Amino acid sequence: MKRQRMIAVLPTLLTLGNGACGFGAITFAAKLGPEHAEGRHLLVASLLIFLGMLCDMLDGSAARLTKQTSDIGAQLDSLCDAITFGVAPAFLMLQFVRHEYMSANDSQFFVGYVGRFLWTVAALYVICAILRLARFNVETEEEDTHEFFSGLPSPAAAGALASFPIGMRELLRIAATTESHQLAIWLVPSVKIAMVLVTFAVACLMVSRVHYPHVFNQWVRGRRTRRQVIHLVFVAAAFYWVLELGFLLIFCYFAFAPPLRAMWSETVSGRLYRSPDV
């Protein structure tokens, strides 16, 4: 009986673990100062977001296996997701950019208009993540197959942002092995700008109607298509060649490939529609 009760609370513990990981990510990202000049706290914050992602992936499966699905569980899951995949990645972006500027003894960066712009982008990301989660709760039904998402899932958006501090370590290592000092000087500002642009882009994609595959459900429950096998090869190759950069490449590919593919299809179909009959 006691073991059954422990199994029954397992989905809730995983969900709360997700929220705790989000809070931990915010806590570590907030450690900004000379004593944290190496930026390891940002790396830990990123890893905690990924750990929260793992908990989020497992809690639904655990609830179905233990037959403990409930409305309160779904709402609790959304609240924890808002912390881990909404607030934590946005704050991580702010601290990542600010950390690099403080390293350059330019902490007044956040006083001006650029700092306000960055805060606006971060706030937009949080708002879009909350809207995305609310829309998912309203539009999702029990009998849905859950093979596709309408709009970029918030965990994928968070993964794209959390990949930047991880990938930055590999990029700096590559730059250190080259003889070009200009590469290292150019690299850090470029990565910061890219992270801000990606934050804005994934925020918009979360509230879009672009279709994204539910990777876990399609691979575990469905039949593997040729495209999915190609994607698996891409993932394996990315991790084999550049392990730490692999996260960044994979999450950015997942976020931007579907809208780019849809835009290309619309362009091609538009050209075919406008082409004169022969």
Q: State the Cα–Cα distance between residues 216 and 196, nearest whole angstrom.
A: 28
Q: What is the pLDDT of residue 31?
A: 86
Q: Is 14 exposed, middle or buried (0-12, 13-18, 19+ CB in 10 A)?
A: buried
Q: What is the mean pLDDT of residues 96-105?
A: 64
pLDDT digits (tens, 9 = 90+) for 125-164: 999 999 999 998 888 765 555 677 889 999 999 999 999 9
**Res. 165: pLDDT tops 50:** yes
- Per-residue confidence band for 109, with pLDDT thresholds at 50, 70 and 90: low
CA of 261: how far to CAs of 197, 198, 207, 264, in Å? 20, 18, 18, 5
3-state helix, strand, coil in the chain (%, to 5): 80, 0, 15
Name the nearest CA neighbour of 80 among 129, 143, 120.
Answer: 129
Most confident among 67-71, 202-206, 227-231 (mean pLDDT): 202-206
> Residue 105: is its pLDDT beyond 50?
no
For residue 181, pLDDT over 80 is answered with no
Cβ-Cβ contacts under 8 Å for 161 (sequence gap 6 or more): 89, 90, 92, 93, 125, 195, 198, 199, 202
pLDDT at 6 over 50: yes
| Residue-level pLDDT at 160 | 96
Q: What is the rounded CA–CA span in Å between residue 278 and residue 260?
A: 30
Check pLDDT > 70 for residue 259.
Answer: yes
Looking at residue 278, what is its pLDDT? Answer: 42
Higher pLDDT, 83 or 62: 83
3-state SS, residue 140: coil
- Residues 6+ positions from 260 with CB-CB distance below 8 Å: none
- Give CA–CA dist 199/158, Å, rounded: 9
